[in-house]
Amino acid sequence: MSQLTIEDIARIAGVSRSTVSRVLNGQPNVRPSVRDRVQEVINSYGYAPQAAARQLVMRKTRLIGLILPDNAHHLFGNPIFAEIARGVSQVCAQRGYTPMLFIGRQDMDEATFFSLLRGRHFDGVVLISSDRQDRSAAMLREAGMPYVRVGHDPEDDQDLQYVDVDNVAAARVAVEHLIALGHRRIAMLKGLAKDVCTHARLEGYRQALAAAGLPFDEALVGDGDWTPASGYAWTRRFLDLPEPPTALFSSNDMMVAGVVRAVQERGLKVPDDLAIVGFDDLLQTTMIFPELTTIRQPCVEMGTRAAELLLDQLEHNRRERAQIILPTSLIIRESCGYRRRVAASVEVKAAAPTAGDLQQPS
């Protein structure tokens, strides 16, 4: 309660401020017996140095900010962010930093956010965003706050350091897999247009169709918004088409929940009537349906790599460009119908029946 200061501890231990400070910071040149005595006083009084005073002189907080897409809903709703955060957290803890997640940016105006950044509460920031309209990156730059981004925009690349996956290649592999299973009419569920990866995944879809000589049909492309509700609505439309698709590629796993509901509502079955491949590999969804074939993103690793880049930047002042593209993989389960056509003993995580290597290297 009382909030002791370093001076109090020094007096109690019968030494000077400086000596207590040396003990606190693990510096050398303290007699072992003195060190022990001071440490004991610190422990018994539960003393910890006041962060603000330390920060003022050190110019470091050892706090790392984590910023997610504006909408908190999105954010908690989609477990991939939790995975990325876990990666960030692991590296931070290991290297003596504490990660803190910004919440409620939607309740905050830009000026407030900017002041928060300039206030130097954080040494650096991991920004998770593939949103083209998101002003966060610009504000971080303007505020002179070091940051590493997870996700990026190839068309407007002001981000010095980022970690991402090759969304085009990943989507292409997903769709090629469906083509290899014999499907000719393959629907595609897009995410929100503001997110860069939405366009990349659509491009992958196009490329796969083109490579197989299949026509691109606008009617088979649904304008989703990442939510199950949009998956539901679009699937109903697809199934109402005169010539409905026999397969569907969804830009994320969450929308698949709605897709499956729509299919079942018609008395149809997955994968027999509609084969599905998703994107993200959320653990949650594996429980719900015929298990989902999907593209796995290495979320935890995206987090660790981003944190490592950031901390290297902070500690060794590494400011060179670093743009890391991590490999994704196609996880074959039941929703694509593969197991029904191929021997059951097939190694699930191994190569797809299509192109050789599913690990897209950077």
Partner DNA sequence: CAACGTCATGGGAGCGATCCCACGAGGTAT
Partner DNA sequence: ATACCTCGTGGGATCGCTCCCATGACGTTG
Interacting residues toward its own copies by CB under 8 A: 1, 3, 46-56, 61, 63, 66, 72-73, 75-77, 79, 81-82, 85-86, 88-90, 92-94, 98-104, 106-108, 112, 114-121, 142-144, 227-229, 231-232, 257-258, 260-261, 284, 287-289
- Cα gap 281→358, rounded to integer Å: 15
Report, in Å, the least distance between residue 140 CB and its own copies.
Answer: 12
63 binds DNA (CB under 7 A): no
- Cα gap 319→215, rounded to integer Å: 45
Report, in Å, the least distance between residue 149 CB and its own copies.
Answer: 18
Residue 34 binds what, of DNA, its own copies, none (CB under 5 to 8 Å, by partner type)? DNA
Given the DSSP bridges, would you call strands 275-280 and 247-250 parallel, antiparallel or unpaired? parallel
Our CB check for its own copies shows the closer of 219 and 288 to be 288
Say how many C-beta atoms besides its own lie within 10 A of residue 180's C-beta.
17
Q: Give the DSSP H or E segment for 127.
A: strand 124-128
2 binds DNA (CB under 7 A): no
The sheet with strand 161-165 has its strands ordered as 63-67, 124-128, 147-150, 161-165, 322-326
**What b-and-e string marks burial along 305-324, b requiring 16 or more CB atoms within 10 Å of the CB?**
bbbbbbbbbbeeeeeeebbb
- Segment interacting with DNA, rule: CB under 7 A, options 29-37, 76-84, 101-109, 182-190: 29-37
Report, in Å, the least distance between residue 102 CB and its own copies.
Answer: 7
- Cα gap 63→88, rounded to integer Å: 12
Our CB check for its own copies shows the closer of 63 and 189 to be 63
Our CB check for DNA shows the closer of 19 and 161 to be 19
Report, in Å, the least distance between residue 333 CB and its own copies.
Answer: 14
Cβ atoms 297, 281 nearer than 8 A: yes
Find how far residue 262's CA is from the centre of its chain: 28
Sequence-distant (≥ 6) Cβ neighbours of residue 1 within 8 angstroms? none
Give the 3-state DSSP-derived string for 141-172, with helices as H, strands as E and coil as C: HHCCCCEEEECCCCCCCCCCEEEEECHHHHHH
Backbone phi, psi, residue 222, to 5°: -105, 140
Structure-token pair, residue 127: 């920004």
Our CB check for its own copies shows the closer of 1 and 344 to be 1
- Segment interacting with DNA, rule: CB under 7 A, options 11-19, 122-130, 144-152, 270-278: 11-19
Structure-token pair, residue 162: 């980022």
Sequence-distant (≥ 6) Cβ neighbours of residue 203 within 8 angstroms? 168, 171
Backbone phi, psi, residue 100, to 5°: -135, 135
DSSP 107: G
12 binds DNA (CB under 7 A): no
- Segment interacting with DNA, rule: CB under 7 A, options 15-23, 267-275, 281-289, 311-319: 15-23
Our CB check for its own copies shows the closer of 38 and 181 to be 38
58 binds DNA (CB under 7 A): yes
Return the closest-CA partner of residue 62 out of 51, 50, 48: 51
22 binds DNA (CB under 7 A): yes
Task: Look up tokens 């509901």; give the residue.
Answer: 261
106 binds DNA (CB under 7 A): no
Our CB check for its own copies shows the closer of 18 and 71 to be 71
Residue 7 binds what, of DNA, its own copies, none (CB under 5 to 8 Å, by partner type)? DNA
Choice from 17, 135, 318, 341 touching DNA (CB under 7 A): 17
Report, in Å, the least distance between residue 1 CB and DNA.
Answer: 13
Report, in Å, the least distance between residue 206 CB and its own copies.
Answer: 28
Choice from 1, 57, 343, 344 touching DNA (CB under 7 A): 57
Interface positions with DNA (CB under 7 A): 3-7, 14-22, 24-25, 28-31, 34, 49-50, 53-54, 56-58
